[in-house]
Amino acid sequence: MWTRTLLDYMPIAMLFLIGLGLGGAAMLTPALLAPKRPSRRKHLPYESGMVPIGPAQRRFPVKFYLTALLFILFDVEIIFFYPWALQVRALRALALMEMGLFVLVLLIGYVYAWRKGAFEWER
C-alpha cells in the first residue's frame, strides 16, 4: 500500500547532486581561474586601514562568549511568549499555569547565571 521504489526518490537525489555540483563549481572556479600574485602586504591582516599591532590571532576571554551565549539563550526563550500571548484566552487557566512554569524555569536559570557571576563584565 505505501511501497515506494527508488525511482520515487530520484528527484530528491537529482536536486542533491545538482546542489553539490553547483557548490563545488562555485568553490573551485575562483581557485583555478583567479590570478595569483602573492605579496607580503596581501597577507597582512586588515584592520580598518590601521597598521595592525601584535598578532592577528589573539585569545579572547571566555567571558565574551558566555555573555553572547546567555543573550541568545534568553532572547530565544522570550520568543515563546508571543504565541502564548495570542492563544492565552482560548487556553485559559492551563495556559497561565504552563507559562508560569516556563517563567519559573527561566527564572531559575537566570538566578543560577547571576550567582555564578556570568553577568559581571569585570571582576
pTM of the predicted protein model: 0.49
Taking the C-alpha atoms of residue 53 and residue 50, their distance in angstroms, rounded to an integer, is: 9
Taking the C-alpha atoms of residue 107 and residue 101, their distance in angstroms, rounded to an integer, is: 10
Q: What is the pLDDT of residue 123?
A: 57
Residue pLDDT tens, the chain, 123 long: 556 787 888 999 999 999 999 999 999 999 999 988 888 877 777 767 776 677 767 777 777 888 888 888 888 888 888 888 888 888 888 888 988 999 999 899 889 988 988 888 775
Q: Identify whether the C-beta of residue 6 lies closer than 8 Å to the C-beta of residue 13.
A: no
